[in-house]
Structure 1
Amino acid sequence: MTDAAPHLPVLLDEVVQALGPIEGGVFIDGTFGAGGYTRALLAAGASMVLGIDRDPTAVARGKVLEAEAGGRFRIAHGAFSELDRHAEEAGLTHVDGVVLDIGVSSMQIDEAERGFSFRYDGPLDMRMSLDGPSAADVINTLDGRDIARILAVYGEERQAGRIAKAIVAARASAPITRTKELVAIIERVLGAKRFGEAHPATRSFQAIRIHVNHELDELGEALEAAERLLPAGGRLVVVTFHSLEDRIVKRFIQERSRTVAQGSRHLPEATLPPATFSLIHKGGVEPTEAECQRNPRARSAKLRAAARTAAAARPIDPRALGIPAFQPTTRGA
């Protein structure tokens, strides 16, 4: 695309600082993408970085860096929810830090043929891994009530019911296969984009993408895997781009770092398991205004970081982290 913005890793300096010290360390970049974080870690003196990505195009880019890195970088094709398995398969016996950049990359958005963006016309795909059911499969086969729930839960779209009803009506005439077809349906319900406001399709596209790629479930499993993998002192750094992701990461880090339960005058304080992480930053770190000027996509980003303690890892409770449980109820119109 001629108007595509160059890929700029978000909060790069802050990520490297939160993972530090870097010199001689071993790190996992669980969302390799264009390799921005990986290259920064290698430049800072990391002895080994393992990159993970489920997008075959990102893995192909990783293979190029792998050939250039002199044995200091390896790329693995797969989901970051299995980062501990990937580390084992790569022969890593010790990992000093894990960084995760959650969501779709700018390069994926700017490739019209991937179907992630409402700005370009392309196949309604949205699959990060290029396999499994596509976005077109979702909106052409799921019951309207399920589509409405996807839009409401994953996109926090207030007009989810109306949009779902319009999708079901439109697909009765012909399958919806292109991004611009879906955009037109949404605009008929919500109106066209107004100056200074987000595009009316923003929330719906986000919701469908999250559902297609099981992004929130993957995030929860990745946090659990990082806790299993990291030794005492190991760093976990996560960059998110919308409230659903950030809420999950925030709850995980808060719950895992809590040492005193919140009691009340009616209930005694509960006994908590030992904290598995300690906070590096008390709250989320946001990009500076200067970074946002250079890279508008950074505006919604937030970084959260924690250091692993020596306490034993334990399973997560997806519902407690705010990960919705979604099972389609029916198929068809």
Structure 2
Amino acid sequence: MNIVITGGNGFIGSHLLLQLAARGDALTVIDRGAPRSDIDWTGIRYLQGSFDDTTLLTRALEGADLVYHLASTTVPGTANLDPVADVQGNLLGTLALVNAMHQAGCERLVYLSSGGTVYGDLDLEKVDEQAPTRPISSYGIVKLAIERYLLMHERTGSLKPVILRASNPYGARQGKLGLQGLVSTAIDRISSGLPLQIWGDGSAVRDYVYICDLVELMEKAGFSTLCGVYNAGSGHGTSVRQIIDEVAGALNMQPKLEHVSARAFDVSRVVLDVSRASRDFAWYPRTELTAGIRATVQAFQSA
């Protein structure tokens, strides 16, 4: 199969890339950055540039059977700073991608949305795909708008999309600059003996999914014939403070914590119900949190 991955050089994209490469598929990556040095790119076509570049897209999509759209020009912590750029880079960029897919005759798309932001603050123990969507950040609003456009194209028969609302993935090769990814940031700061900032009191609850489990779902979803919206998480909630304790335990070090004011765009709790994905794709997250964090610590220490 001929597969295109936007953002294939990133944390999630690189794991998906290796998973698909093991299958023997023909792979094309579109990414703004230079190829990372910890991946063997032999046999993989790498196109450096933006996913809304029509000339680049024409080259990338020729003969494509499936597109994984993972690229994003923002993260939750930066999108609110410039909502116009968020809309231009992500919403309009995705519409350009969809148009290029239509021109190339490629209908199958897997879009990585955000289970952590599209629902907003709901007073629910777990949220399933039928829960209200009330995003409180530009990141979540734009992700949801992209979802709606993709579903519109499904109704008109021009696209066969699977939308995966991913929770908070973690694992090897995740960035550690603090913009996104509590686990990797905590590993980096605690192991370096540096203070770790906590937004609020550390009680915010999130759903953390190990990268290998998420990538397994992405593969199953892409190679299925199903369309629609699916939650992609662990199905379990963990507070920020619990994550820090798990990381500190794996490192056998005491964390230095620095509490700062909570951010207005952070939801207080979101835990995903993943039963629909489990049923339709015969998938379920298998990696328990402690084991996943210890594996991530080992990967960071050996990098």
TM-score > 0.5, shorter chain as reference: no
Q: Looking at secondary structure, tell me which structure has more strand per residue.
A: 2
Larger Rg: 1
Q: TM-score, normalised by structure 2?
A: 0.31
